[in-house]
Structure 1
């Protein structure tokens, strides 16, 4: 794809992620929670590492079913820590369990997806960056989302992580303007 965003390089898995998933608006609460969890696991690592382990994460975390993960106890966390297919970080795994419980609370009260989307006014922000050097690592919106998530009790959700989450889930369209996906994602952004 001529003009593709350069961050995905040439790794076929990364290119496929860029070309089919990244930046597509996600309105499903469970899918948003999964992506938020995975972005939290990425802290200190590269996204390609998480992509390569995503299937193992999905299997270990029971399809990222928040109701099931919310019931995990210390024994279940200990079991997850033995899985070499995922990132074995006690704090991140325990944070996922706590996050599942928080997800259920928010989903039951105001809806997890509507709550997250409220940080961008309920519609994707359409950016028009000509080059990767113009794309920010965080914004006022990601800082506000981070602060609100932390206030609720979520972990591993700083403003850089939440901005990466916003980019990946289509809350912002940060495909550069030369990338064919910029226009494609922009057209997808009118739904919701």
Structure 2
């Protein structure tokens, strides 16, 4: 990551974590996710997180009950999945208990935010990204996520139901 981006990242994370700062539309979040995907594919996700603790702080922040936008929660779920696609980063996030909080039963699954289709879709997309290695697949089985994915195939949102079906096909129904 270039030095200017690294310098701006803490302010960006602070804006994303602040519920008083509305995000105008999903386009900027999609572009930001695309940028993070490119950065992580070009280097180490773990190094990126270690050099930019504001990213982990953002993920920790979305775990707290608050009036956080469903767009931001969905973004954070997808971002965590992008980072956790690399096994060493997955282990790092797992040690900090972030992954169970984001993708396990104590995460958004039981929260009011789960009612928003964007959150359910972000959850599935995050899981699809992280399900790239044996540790992640074991985590999915142990966390009960597989049962939730199966149930989401019947979701009233066609986008969510489709994403759940695609994830199951992508991972061979685990």
Give the TM-score taking structure 1 as reference length. Answer: 0.31
- Which structure has the bigger radius of gyration? 1
Provide TM-score, normalisation by structure 2.
0.33
Higher share in helix: 2
Greater RCO between the two (CA within 8 Å, min separation 6)? 1
